[in-house]
Amino acid sequence: MALGDVALAMGLAFWFLLPAYVANPMAVVFGGGVPVDFGRVLRDGRRVLGDGKTWRGFAGGAASGFALGAILQIIGSAGGPSLSFGPWPGVLGILVLLPVGALLGDLLGAFIKRRLGLERGAKAAGLDQYDFLIGAFLVLLLFAPAWWFVRFWEGDAIWGLGFIILITPALHRVVNMIGYRWEHKREPW
């Protein structure tokens, strides 16, 4: 294990997660309109998900993540096999799973927040920072486990996973501060 290999593994892990990372910020940009839960309330008297999760946000986030993934795939394939998201046409599935998994994780996070009695936009340490990452990883493990293990677990790739777990809260914070400045988001977290 050379230092260069570790750095490379970190860079690659970040590269492969970019389509998941952009999904939630782009959901903020595209969001609004009909909520995913259609306004439904559960027996605890709280919304299923709340007004912060909309169909437009979901679709816009998923489409943006897919589009970025397609661009990275074209650039990556030209750059060499290690940057490729995988062979065609299966790669299309991966490029859907990454942002959709992230957005499903975000929905699950909102569901848990509502069950805890937290209003839309309330802070939930841990959940806010990691829900999309957990969602993306779970969906990949379910539908493309070999893809996930090769890129986030086996050999040096595990360093990439550790790096992602470390930087994700900071990244989340920076992106949300930018979003708050732009007034797309109502709270800076």
Alpha carbon distance 123, 62 (integer Å): 24
Q: Binding to ligand CTP by residue 150, rule CB under 6 A? A: no
The span from the first CA to the last CA of the chain, in angstroms, equals 37
Q: Binding to ligand CTP by residue 121, rule CB under 6 A? A: yes
Please identify which residue in 20, 26, 28, 68 interacts with ligand CTP, judged by CB under 6 A: 28
**Beta bridge mates, 35:** 54
Rg, C-alpha atoms of the chain: 17
- Of 14-22, 93-101, 119-127, 135-143, the segment contacting ligand CTP by CB under 6 A is 119-127
Question: Taking the complex as a whole, how short is the minimal distance between the CB of residue 72 and ligand CTP, in angstroms?
Answer: 22
Q: Binding to ligand CTP by residue 22, rule CB under 6 A? A: no
Task: Label residue 186 left, alpha or beta by phi (over 0 means left) and psi (-120 to 50 means alpha).
Answer: alpha
Residue 136's closest CA among 174, 111, 106, 172? 106
Please identify which residue in 18, 91, 92, 122 interacts with ligand CTP, judged by CB under 6 A: 122
Q: Cβ(22)–Cβ(67) under 8 Å?
A: no
Q: Which amino acid is at 41?
A: V
Alpha carbon distance 185, 29 (integer Å): 9
Alpha carbon distance 83, 65 (integer Å): 17
Number of residues located near ligand CTP, criterion CB under 6 A: 18
Q: Which residues between 42 and 71 bind ligand CTP (CB under 6 A)?
A: 50, 52-54, 57-58
- Of 1-9, 85-93, 105-113, 146-154, the segment contacting ligand CTP by CB under 6 A is 105-113
Q: Give the nearer residue to ligand CTP in terms of CB position, either 50 or 160.
A: 50
**Beta bridge mates, 178:** none
Question: Taking the complex as a whole, how short is the minimal distance between the CB of residue 71 and ligand CTP, in angstroms?
Answer: 22
Question: Taking the complex as a whole, how short is the minimal distance between the CB of residue 23 and ligand CTP, in angstroms?
Answer: 9
Q: Which residues bind ligand CTP (CB under 6 A)?
A: 27-28, 31-32, 50, 52-54, 57-58, 103, 106, 110, 113, 120-122, 185
